[in-house]
Amino acid sequence: MASNTRIDGSVPNIAAGANIGTIFSRGWAVDYDWGSDKALASGQPRRLATLGFPGPFDQDLDGVLRGREAFSDFIYLFKAGQYIRLRAATMTPDGLLAPIASAWSLPALWTGVDAVLPGSGKKINFAYFFRGTEYGRYDWTTDKLSPPFPKTITTEWHTTAPFLRDFDGVIIGQGGFSTKAYLFRTNTAQVDDEGKTVSAGTLGSHAVNAPSYIRYDFDAEATQGAETDPAHVVASWNGLLPLLDAGPAIDLAITWCNAGIAGLMTPLVPIVANALAHHFRTATPTPAQLAAITTRLTAVRDRLISIPDRFRWTAGLAFAAQTTPGLLTEIGDGFSTVHGPNGRAAVMIHEAVHFTALGGPAIDVPEWSGEIINGTPFGIDSLSGRPYQGITTDEALTNPGSYASFAQEIALLGTDARFGAAHPQE
């Protein structure tokens, strides 16, 4: 599969250090150290709400700006044609939300923007607004749009296909990269189950929508290369995309857990009974078994809510994720390149079961081992050496794959899809 991160924007994190930038995607943020060229090792990812971003500006931003000149005390958040200004020192709103176009001298027809880019290098006193094939340049020193804007992106920024229009967001470089801007756009690619790019029509390939970027240098006023290979984009930003992918995976996993917990309230409906039979080897659990499943799913949900506590990206990890019970969960690049959005949610539940480590038989039999799922047969997992259907109810009560698959089946109203290793492209 591939990362499905959509870059929304970035700002310097002055409080964290000269080379630290905060990068935003959907409802989450990751701090990136430009000095060491990798995401920070702890405290990542963070919800925008915990940073003080008020609703609805705590989800799906169109852009973020740190003010310049007379406006340097402020951070500006943009979404759905409106913006709000925050005092950077306190992250508290300074005024009400207002339409973008009139406040920033943009064309009246610009009821929204695709991306917002802070200038840097010799263009540091400008901010750029992108919409479709056009852009406008705002001058912080005059507090208005520079004439004669808007202009066409391709002729002025010297971009090449597929970076001609419809940008998602921009990451602004810092430290040794301070004159660089990285313009991100979602593009379609063909990948295999390991996330490697393959030719269209290759047997077993999947079309994925994944982030790609082109780099621009403000001082040189030229682009300096692009990256469209989904796996290479992940590898180029050490830890950033796996951590940003983890945020929506956490949200989805919590939703699945809530559905599973609610479904376990007696009397059990047929969908829940079927899921219990599929994943816990009994459609009529005893009160003690029912309590054990509910207790574990509740502990898993609480663990997911606690992230980023004892959670990090690790370079060169052999697996998509691994956990030392009660101590640490690590994700690697494979979290983004091997799994899709639903697979990543399954991984988060799987690892949270390991993390909570409530005791009992220590088994880890994948939900796909020896199964036929949606007509596709899967072999026996080489590590456990056991088929999923061969575990007992008592063993299933401590098996990570059983909880991940049970929760998703309830959330999907009875669809036994087994997201995870059996469905890496989803």
* DSSP annotation string for 182-210: EEEEEEEEEE-TTS-B--TT-TT-EEEEE
Return the CATH number of the domain spanning residue range 9-238: 2.110.10.10
Category of 153 on φ-ψ map: left (φ > 0), alpha (ψ -120 to 50) or beta = alpha
> What's the confidence (pLDDT) of residue 361?
62
* CA atoms of 76 and 100, how far apart (whole Å): 11
Residues facing residue 74 across a β-bridge: 87
> What's the confidence (pLDDT) of residue 359?
66
Dihedral sign for Cα atoms in the order 231, 236, 238, 243: negative
The first and second tokens of residue 105, run together, are: 């001298």
User: Which of 253, 201, 219, 216 is CA-nearest to residue 122?
Assistant: 219
* CA atoms of 248 and 271, how far apart (whole Å): 26
> What's the confidence (pLDDT) of residue 236?
97
Question: pTM for the whole thing?
Answer: 0.96
> What's the confidence (pLDDT) of residue 20?
95
> What's the confidence (pLDDT) of residue 319?
93
Judge contact between 301 and 257, C-beta under 8 A.
yes
Q: Is the peptide bond preceding residue 118 cis, with omega within 30 degrees of 0?
A: no
Give how far Cα 400 sits from Cα of 75, 87, 416, Å: 42, 44, 16
CATH superfamily entry for domain 243-411: Collagenase (Catalytic Domain) (3.40.390.10)
Q: In what order do the strands lie in the sheet with 169-172?
A: 169-172, 180-191, 206-217, 222-227
Q: What is the pLDDT along the chain (426 residues), one digit of tens a residue?
A: 799 999 999 999 878 788 999 999 999 999 999 999 999 999 999 999 999 999 999 999 999 999 999 999 999 999 999 999 999 999 999 988 999 999 999 999 999 999 999 999 999 999 999 999 999 999 999 999 998 889 999 999 999 999 999 999 999 999 999 999 999 999 999 998 888 899 888 887 888 999 999 999 999 999 999 999 999 999 999 999 999 999 999 999 999 999 999 999 989 999 999 999 999 999 999 999 999 999 999 999 999 999 999 999 999 999 999 999 999 999 999 999 999 999 999 999 999 999 998 666 679 999 999 998 877 888 999 999 999 999 999 999 999 999 999 999 999 999 988 887 767 667
Report phi then psi at 212, rounded to 5: -140, 165
Dihedral (C-alpha) 242, 245, 250, 252: value to the nearest 10 degrees? -150
The first and second tokens of residue 350, run together, are: 């799987």
The domain locations on the chain are 9-238, 243-411
Radius of gyration for the alpha carbons in the chain, expressed in angstroms and rounded: 23
Query: Residues of 392-420 as b/e, b for ≥16 C-beta within 10 angstroms?
Result: eeebbbbbbbbbbbbbbbbbbeeebbbbb
* CA atoms of 11 and 177, how far apart (whole Å): 14
* CA atoms of 399 and 392, how far apart (whole Å): 10
> What's the confidence (pLDDT) of residue 358?
66
